């Protein structure tokens, strides 16, 4: 088990911290898998501070931030929003985990599970019937984690980083009605 951390709802002033941990975890996950220049360009666009500021300002999204207990450094997060995935049966009451990132040192201690549970609870409160997400099709560790949480494959999509396209799995979890 790694260092301890805690989770709180992200605040409007957290955009820079989210952008930093987003880029750091993307680099940590995909260095040696994807082209380095493509990773840098992807992070510059997809993990820009304004992307997170937009999500934080929009009531349609919920974001949780993970902070290290010692020093409160940002080490992970989850962004939840309305589902926007290429599925034939996509419905208005589907919710999507847009991003779930956690630095490697903080994985394996239950934080990922807690983030997914928070997303489930929030989606249910908002009338959700299904929680969806996309995951790189060769990220076996992440896929195993999601399967352990009860997600199943419901589709596929392509994901572009730089000039190359990669195959993602789209996973879904039917939410329990309270």
Active site residues: 146
Determine what percent of the chain falls in helix, strand and coil, rounding each to the nearest 5.
35, 35, 30
User: Vertex 30, ends 51 and 4: CA angle to 5°?
Assistant: 75
Compute, in degrees rounded to 10, the torsion defined by CA atoms 3, 51, 163, 96: 70
DSSP-derived letter for residue 129 is S
Of the chain, the end-to-end C-alpha distance in Å amounts to 32
């Amino acid at each position: 088990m790694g260092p301890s951390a805690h989770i709180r709802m992200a605040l409007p002033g957290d955009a820079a911290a989210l952008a930093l941990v987003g880029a750091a975890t993307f680099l940590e996950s995909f260095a040696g898998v994807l082209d380095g220049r493509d990773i840098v360009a992807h992070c510059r666009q997809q993990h820009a501070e304004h992307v997170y500021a937009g999500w934080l300002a929009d009531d349609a999204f919920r974001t949780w931030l993970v902070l290290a207990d010692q020093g409160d450094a940002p080490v992970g997060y989850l962004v939840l929003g309305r589902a926007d995935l290429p599925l034939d049966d996509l419905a208005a009451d589907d919710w999507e985990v847009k991003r779930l990132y956690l630095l490697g040192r903080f994985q394996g201690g239950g934080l990922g599970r807690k983030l997914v549970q928070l997303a489930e609870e929030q989606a249910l409160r908002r009338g959700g019937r299904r929680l969806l997400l996309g995951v790189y099709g060769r990220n076996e560790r992440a896929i195993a984690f999601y399967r352990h949480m009860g997600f199943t494959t419901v589709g596929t999509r392509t994901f572009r980083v730089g000039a190359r396209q990669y195959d993602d799995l789209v996973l879904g979890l039917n939410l329990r009605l309270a």
